[in-house]
Chains A and B, each alone.
Chain A
């Protein structure tokens, strides 16, 4: 019973935060790309366009969902649902912090708790494989959407997507296998725990630095394959708008159209979380707490607050005078929370996990704003003739070094 209640609370929290984060990821993407291209980005709805995701969601929900007459109705309606479903499953096994102990409370003479729980929904002992399985099932959503639309462009998009995802799954799995050799486990929590500690007191034990086989190449291969698996630029051939109009979702409208974007962003968050846990040490800090890694978070947030306050006092736009001091207060409050000793062991792992996750997500957006798209034959040649052999070589060398060291 207690287990059910705790899991229910965690489920509600994670779902709420994750869904909100997905909507705001879109805002972050539009804003970052706008600033890379020296534009303003969304700025009309709410201060700095902060309410734009809400407006988008309302717009998409209230729009009429058009059902084209020439589609295969069952698969046409099921495909977006399936895509979102598969994208959301894998977030349930991502650990994002250490264990959490809620102290006992006394209520009317009876004592409840204390409760101890892990900061994740489920610790699966084949977690890495589950992520691979679910991500390989995700292709059905896109392929079926393309096929059931009964449209040449959509069909081509779906075909491209399935071919691309099968091809890039190989280098991705081989790249993942290498850090598993050094970690010796398939559970995401155990893998993150093996990366605790520091060499010479400064260099973290993250898999990309780890003795005996630093996984830096594996990390790069994984990230490249992750771009292809999530259909992002420079590998977004399934929705290449100058060749295929919009690719597999050309016939979709309203919420089913939004569902594909939700699935894409959820997949992005998942692969970035997996990269964080496998290669960047999960919630382990960049340098030890004895050198002051706990101070990074409050200082960073206080710095953001100070910048907001400064720009609020010297406003470039009229509404900055009101909005930026509010942001400053929020940032200072968060900084205070991060510096508050009882919350440090709970919030610090989450901060480090989120910092790495957001950096990788920013990398996705940054690359989208920077790189052009591959040609389709280049994409396939790159996967089979370059990434696959390199990943294989990396796995062999890692296995050799691990065998030598043990």
Chain B
């Protein structure tokens, strides 16, 4: 059952990811991105990381993408206008990306054998307790530094916006 779900949602994730690029209208692209986030959450869930899956849904699909959609709606952005799309990019780009991904997957598997293979639902570090414990012991410094970074970003956004108003 698990591999079936994995294949299904992996396919949805990839298809929606391609759709983000292919869609002409920004709202359609943003909604495809929401679908990518949701299927990634299901993939996390399949591996037993239920807390991270839900955090993914709440933060990415529920907050960040809503803001994206909000801005697109507020600006009332119309469909994208494309002109002079290069055929050479299409002909060489698709094989190149497939080749790059294949090479990456190959080197990941051979270069890092200690990673092993994925076992569905086998990972025990994804609950709320484990994530909280790891965040406040092992990863305390990166966690706090990230918080400060986000604070700086917020302050910077406000400063830039004020300059615009004045």
B46 at the binding interface (Cβ < 8 Å):
no
* Binary contact track B64-82/A, C-beta < 8 Å → 1, others 0: 0011011001101000000
* Binary contact track A123-150/B, C-beta < 8 Å → 1, others 0: 0111001101100110110011011000
How many residues of chain B have a CB within 8 Å of chain A? 22
Shortest Cβ gap from A135 to chain B (Å): 8
Shortest Cβ gap from A15 to chain B (Å): 23
Give the distance in Å from the alpha carbon of A133 to the alpha carbon of B45 in the complex.
14
- Are the C-beta atoms of B58 and A136 separated by less than 8 Å? yes
Of the candidates B31, B34, B57, which one forms a contact with A133 in the assembled complex, judged by CB atoms under 8 Å apart?
B57
* Binary contact track B7-41/A, C-beta < 8 Å → 1, others 0: 00000000000000000000100010010000000
- Are the C-beta atoms of A129 and B62 separated by less than 8 Å? no
- Are the C-beta atoms of A163 and B70 separated by less than 8 Å? yes
* Binary contact track A153-164/B, C-beta < 8 Å → 1, others 0: 001001100110
Q: A125-B50, A126-B51, A129-B55 are in contact. Are A136 and B66 (CB under 8 A)?
A: yes
- Are the C-beta atoms of B66 and A132 separated by less than 8 Å? no
A166 at the binding interface (Cβ < 8 Å):
yes
Shortest Cβ gap from A238 to chain B (Å): 13
- Are the C-beta atoms of A158 and B58 separated by less than 8 Å? no
Q: A75-B27, A125-B127, A147-B73 are in contact. Are A133 and B62 (CB under 8 A)?
A: yes
- Are the C-beta atoms of A126 and B50 separated by less than 8 Å? yes
- Are the C-beta atoms of B70 and A133 separated by less than 8 Å? no
* Binary contact track A276-291/B, C-beta < 8 Å → 1, others 0: 0000000000000000
B149 at the binding interface (Cβ < 8 Å):
no
Give the distance in Å from the alpha carbon of A261 to the alpha carbon of B22 in the complex.
35
- Are the C-beta atoms of B66 and A139 separated by less than 8 Å? yes
- Are the C-beta atoms of B58 and A132 separated by less than 8 Å? yes
- Are the C-beta atoms of A133 and B54 separated by less than 8 Å? yes
B43 at the binding interface (Cβ < 8 Å):
no
- Are the C-beta atoms of A126 and B66 separated by less than 8 Å? no
- Are the C-beta atoms of B73 and A129 separated by less than 8 Å? no
Shortest Cβ gap from A137 to chain B (Å): 6
A169 at the binding interface (Cβ < 8 Å):
yes
Which residues of chain B are near A139, meaning CB under 8 Å?
Answer: 62, 66
- Are the C-beta atoms of A143 and B70 separated by less than 8 Å? yes
Q: Which of B55, B57, B61 has the most CB of A within 10 A?
A: B57
Q: What residue in chain B is nearest A124 (Cβ atoms)?
A: B50
- Are the C-beta atoms of B63 and A169 separated by less than 8 Å? yes
- Are the C-beta atoms of B66 and A133 separated by less than 8 Å? no
Give the distance in Å from the alpha carbon of A133 to the alpha carbon of B59 in the complex.
8
Which residues of chain A are near B54, meaning CB under 8 Å?
Answer: 126, 129-130, 132-133
Of the candidates B55, B62, B70, B127, which one forms a contact with A159 in the assembled complex, judged by CB atoms under 8 Å apart?
B70
Report 22 cross-chain contacts, Cβ distance below 8 Å, ordered by A residue. A125-B127, A126-B50, A126-B128, A129-B128, A132-B54, A132-B58, A133-B57, A136-B58, A136-B63, A143-B66, A143-B69, A144-B69, A146-B73, A147-B73, A155-B73, A155-B76, A159-B73, A159-B74, A162-B66, A162-B73, A166-B63, A186-B51
What would 16 more interface pairs be, CB under 8 Å, given A126-B51, A137-B61? A126-B53, A126-B54, A129-B58, A136-B61, A136-B63, A139-B66, A143-B69, A146-B73, A147-B69, A158-B73, A159-B74, A162-B70, A162-B73, A163-B70, A166-B66, A169-B62
List residues of A whose CB falls within 8 A of some B CB: 75, 124-126, 129-130, 132-133, 136-137, 139-140, 143-144, 146-147, 155, 158-159, 162-163, 165-166, 169, 173, 186
List residues of B whose CB falls within 8 A of some A CB: 27, 31, 34, 50-51, 53-55, 57-58, 61-63, 66-67, 69-70, 73-74, 76, 127-128
Question: Which 7 pairs, one residue from A and one from B, show the smallest C-beta to C-beta distance?
Answer: A136-B62, A129-B54, A133-B57, A126-B50, A133-B58, A147-B73, A162-B70
